[in-house]
Amino acid sequence: MARKKQILYPVVFMILLTAVYTFVLAFINESTVDIIAAQEALRVKRSVLYVLDLPSDGSADAVNQLYDAKLDTKPFGDDSYYIYKEDGMVVGYAFPYIGKGLWGSISGYMAISADLKTILGVDFVAHSETPGLGGRIDEEWFKVQFRGVPVAEAESLIFFPSDGGNIDAITGATSTSEAVRKIINGFVGEILDFAKEANL
């Protein structure tokens, strides 16, 4: 009988402990769902403002206020695209994109001018690239070079030192740099096709 108690006690204890921790984790998860959703929405707003070259690093209230004042949204597949207006005139459009990187998907936002002739900005919001190498696509020096790149029918982005080069690749991250170039060049074409269909 004593032996049964010795075996039963740890089993019951572990079951109770597991139940308590499961309840606590479920409670924390449920109580933070709205906070996480709000933070994710804010991250998207910051990214959209960034690619449109609007202030994006202010407080949450400042970002929300600017976003609401300057942007409209319309359907784009399963997502939305964003229309930036000043004094009632369209200045640019921002679109979500996703493409294949070296180690997984790269997703983010890209903005193009109202006349569809200039890339206004590119941002990367999620990727699995190697920290310190391909992961450097998040760095400002890399992202800022996409601003003002003319849209071309063939390839908008070309690496230096090639003829017509307009952006620098990341040293030591050739594969990730090439993946980004292909994603953006391909997505420019998708935007232009969408613009024709939607009469932008």
Judge whether 129 and 102 are in contact, CB under 8 Å. Answer: yes
Whether residue 83 contacts residue 70, with contact meaning beta carbons closer than 8 Å, is answered with no
Residue-wise pLDDT for 55-71, tens only, equals 888 898 999 999 999 99
CB atoms within 10 A of CB 100: 11
pLDDT for 122: 96
List the domain boundaries for the chain.
73-198
* Residues with pLDDT less than 70, the chain: 1-6
Provide the 8-state DSSP code for 56.
Answer: -
- Contacts (Cβ under 8 Å, ≥6 apart) of 53: 111, 120, 121, 147
State which amino acid sits at residue 199: N
pLDDT at 100: 93
DSSP class per residue in 103-119: SSEEEEEEEEETTS-EE
> What's the pLDDT score for residue 171?
87
| Per-residue model confidence (pLDDT) at position 31 | 72
Q: How many CA atoms lie within 13 A of 84 on its CB side?
A: 22
Longest dimension (CA), the chain: 86
Q: Which long-range contacts (CB under 8 A, 24 or more apart) does 168-176 make?
A: 168/142, 170/133, 170/134, 170/136, 170/137, 170/142, 172/133, 173/129, 173/130, 173/133, 173/134, 173/136, 173/137, 175/102, 175/134, 176/101, 176/102, 176/129, 176/130, 176/133, 176/134, 176/137
Would you state the pLDDT for residue 163?
A: 77
In degrees, rounded to 5, the angle at the alpha carbon of residue 163 between the alpha carbons of residues 158 and 164 is 55
